[in-house]
Amino acid sequence: MARRRYPITADFPGAKTPVGSVVRFRGPATGELRGKITGIRIKHADVSGEDGSRWSVPYAAITNVESAPAVECTLVEVEEIAHRLIDEFTGRGALKSGWTFGFDLAPSRAGVCRYNERRIDLSVSYCLAATRAEIEDTVLHEIAHAIVGARHNHDGVWKAKAREIGCVGERCHRVQHSVPKWVGECGCGQQWFRQTLQRRMIGNRICAKCHGSITWRRNTDAPML
């Protein structure tokens, strides 16, 4: 069964507390607590407490935002950028009519082109961490996917189209907009970070530098403050 996807709009409450924000919140029985936002979800934020505790805090329970990362574009402004570009390429005839734009809560990727739905989504946490130029480039990245079709993925046809319409044409972004949940380590000190850990990765990865086995553990090293 496909996972249900909840619509995320520009007035999403989690936009007020981007990943990295330091907040105060009401605990279930311990009064007001202080912590750092490590993830944003539909109805609550993931918060790391000062003592290393982990909390799922409803947005309504956040009483104060002490500090928050600088945000270059609001979600309303991101919508305006996306609609402008989609309308531009639809008007040129490069993009078929009917394409829409929205947000999702992907913790690691920037955007996605949903071909069957004719919809382009950008991650809220990415939008809150990226610059205006990076956001525009990501929208163009997904528009290029929409123009050339799913079968091209990130091949040469897609890259040529992406560059033609003004996108940098890189496969992956470089914006860190979430706290990785898993850390991989080997004997030589190398580290790898993952948001999700697939079963095939456990006990089945070798460091290219020292050829030692990679051991995965929960990421408890992210600085609290």
CA angle 35, 24, 17 (to 5 degrees): 80
Counted domains in the chain: 3
Per-residue confidence band for 2, with pLDDT thresholds at 50, 70 and 90:
very low
Q: 61 with 82, same domain?
A: no
Give residue-wise pLDDT tens across range 12-42: 999 999 999 999 999 877 789 999 998 899 9
Overall pTM surpassing 0.85 (yes/no)? no
Total Cβ atoms within 10 A of residue 204: 10
88 and 42 assigned to the same domain: no
SS3 assignment for 38-102: EEECCCEEEEEECCCCEEEEEHHHEEEEEECCCCCCCHHHHHHHHHHHHHHHHHHCCCCCCCEEE
CATH number of the domain that residue 153 is part of? 3.30.2010.10
Residue 18 pLDDT: 94
Residue 8 lies in a domain: no
148 in the same domain as 106: yes
**Any domain includes 11:** no
Q: At 60, list the tokens.
A: 């309504």
Domain shared by 83 and 42, yes or no: no
- CA neighbor of 11 nearest in space, from 74, 82, 100, 80: 74
- For residues 104 and 30, membership in a common domain is answered with no
Q: Which residues form the domain of 142?
A: 75-164
Write the pLDDT tens digit of every residue in 157-203: 999 999 999 999 887 766 665 666 667 778 787 766 666 666 666 66
